[in-house]
Amino acid sequence: MTKTRFMLLLWILVGVLLISITFAVMLGSVGITPRIIWEILFAKLGIPVETSASRAQAIIIWEIRLPRVLLAALVGASLAICGAAIQALVKNSIADPYILGVSSGASVGATVVILLGAFSALGMYALSLAAFLGAISAVAMVFLLARVNGRTSVIRLLLAGIAISMVFSAITNFMLMMSKQQGGIQAVMHWMLGSLAGAKWSNIAIPFGTLLVVFILLFMNYRQLNALLLGEESAGTLGVNIDRFRIFIIIFVSLLTGVVVAVSGSIGFVGLIIPHLVRMVVGSNYKYVLPTSALVGSIFLVWADMVARIVIAPEEMPIGIITAVCGGPFFIWMLRKRRYSFGEGE
């Protein structure tokens, strides 16, 4: 991949993202033209334009539809770059951002709030906060279990992730089994499969800020991420302080994944397939993989959310079902391609 071709690809993806966002905002029971959307956007950004939009249209676009579409883009980008970074961290192509226990930890937090009414003093923020705390405590446990003699072992990290996920899932299932509230159980199921319906300007600020910080930090270290793919020994001889760098990735990736899961539930598959799809096109160099994954991830999730909104309208399908249904067959198609090795090398 040459630099000019990469820049071209990047601009094309930015264009596709903007068009996808416009489409997604247009979609709904109140018909809105693309022209009106951009007029309102420019007006809100302080650029004076003449607009024919009504006040109702402006509210629907600005307060309801746009936050949701932007959250979809943010979540998609976050999960995709976290997946790419985690795959380098554990040097394993089947890894996804949830492999360190984030989603099962978050599920316990969410279930406690929905079924047992914990943190009710916090009102609408209780669910996100509990999910975030659950996610971070699960990762902290996995991390501590994987430390031996002051070093983080990759295989222990993976196995501890599986063990902690099993324990936390058991806790969630136990609470679900013991619960008598049908509505509550349904709400937990809905949450676990992911939804972007709760998007507001007030709750997309934190994911946006975290995504920005984590993306910049990872991108600044793309050389180290590349070196990790060569193995622990080679990365060390290339000047990477392996242990410190691993801790760095674990902290920031878990932080971003935790924040995203807290607002949208654990949307599966995005963090696994997007990095692979991107490598098929741009190669393995993280200098290209990270920005491309962010854009492709956000485009994918914007479209997945559109499908989630219309497929059983006026009901909403949990977005996790859409990502799995669209992602699965596509991933199988990739598996059958010869040219892409999924990191097997030979």
Partner 1 sequence: MILLQVESISYSISDKQILDDISFSVAQGQFIGVIGPNGSGKSTMLKIIYRHLKQTSGLVTLFEKDLLQFPQKELAQNIAVVSQEAPVLFDFTVKELVMMGRTPYKKWLASDKNEDYAIVSDSMRLANITHLANRYFSELSGGEKKRVLLARALAQQANILILDEPTNHLDIEHQYQLMDLVRELPITIVAALHDLNLAAGYCDELLVMKDGALFQSGTPEEVLTKETLQEVFRVNAFVSKNPFTEKLHLFFYTEQ
**C-beta of 227 vs 267, nearer to partner 1:** 227
**C-beta of 129 vs 217, nearer to partner 1:** 217
- By the rule CB under 8 A, 94 interacts with partner 1: no
Q: How far is the CB of 237 from partner 1 (least distance, A)?
A: 4
Q: Taking CB under 8 A as the rule, which mask of x and - marks residues 202-221 in contact with partner 1?
A: ------------------xx
Instruction: Find the length of the chain.
Output: 346
301 class by beta-carbon count within 10 Å (0-12 exposed, 13-18 middle, 19+ buried): buried
Long-range contacts formed by 55-60: CB under 8 A, 24+ apart: 56/30, 57/30, 57/32, 60/28, 60/30, 60/32
**C-beta of 50 vs 233, nearer to partner 1:** 233
CA distance 4 to 312: 43
Q: How far is the CB of 232 from partner 1 (least distance, A)?
A: 8
- By the rule CB under 8 A, 239 interacts with partner 1: yes
Long-range contacts formed by 37-44: CB under 8 A, 24+ apart: 37/61, 41/66
Among 51, 93, 179, 203, contact with partner 1 (rule: CB under 8 A): 93
Residues that bind partner 1 (rule: CB under 8 A) add up to a total of: 28
Q: Which of 108, 101, 105 is nearest to 162 (CA)?
A: 101
CA distance 118 to 195: 21
227 class by beta-carbon count within 10 Å (0-12 exposed, 13-18 middle, 19+ buried): buried
**C-beta of 73 vs 274, nearer to partner 1:** 274
**C-beta of 117 vs 283, nearer to partner 1:** 283
CA distance 258 to 132: 5
**C-beta of 191 vs 288, nearer to partner 1:** 288
Of residues 254 through 313, those in contact with partner 1 by CB under 8 A are: 279, 283-285
Interacting residues toward partner 1 by CB under 8 A: 91-93, 220-221, 223-224, 226-227, 229-231, 233-234, 236-241, 279, 283-285, 341, 343, 345-346
